[in-house]
Amino acid sequence: MSVYTPAEVVEETGFSLDTLRYYEKIGLLEPISRNAAGQRRFSQEDVGWLGLIRCLRDTGMPIAEMLRFAELVREGDHTFADRARLLEEHDRRVQGQIENLVERRRYIHHKISYYRGAV
């Protein structure tokens, strides 16, 4: 089993040490095991979970929803349908953001064309 230091997890996930501690404190991340000296040691499973959290955070999922998702995961496999619904709702919001960005980009391209034509 691979074990990662906090510094390695920071590099792998892009989260700061403070964010990792915060996520552990609020229960978004399970309590991290420690070595004999009391230093945190992350498992491959922890790093994988943080990858999912990174994706959800980067796509705008509120922490409260991430906590709800984590709660569902901890409740077990019988929550698959609830997890899927939560992710589907998030996916719809992400799709709306994408559509909004595409429209904004069209407007920017229109302005670029206007200014290039004016010079």
pLDDT (0 to 100) of residue 94: 98
pLDDT (0 to 100) of residue 109: 97
pLDDT (0 to 100) of residue 119: 82
Q: Which residue's structure tokens are 């964010």?
A: 19
- The tens digit of pLDDT for each residue in 38-80 reads 999 999 999 999 999 999 999 999 999 999 999 999 999 999 9
CB 106: neighbour CB atoms within 10 A? 10
Q: Which residue's structure tokens are 């904004």?
A: 104
Longest dimension (CA), the chain: 69
| 10: its two tokens | 């920071």
Mean pLDDT for the stretch of residues 2-17: 96
Residue 1 has pLDDT above 80, yes or no: no
Instruction: For 42, list phi and psi in degrees, rounded to 5.
Output: -90, 140
pTM over 0.85: yes
In the chain, what percentage of residues exceed pLDDT 90? 97
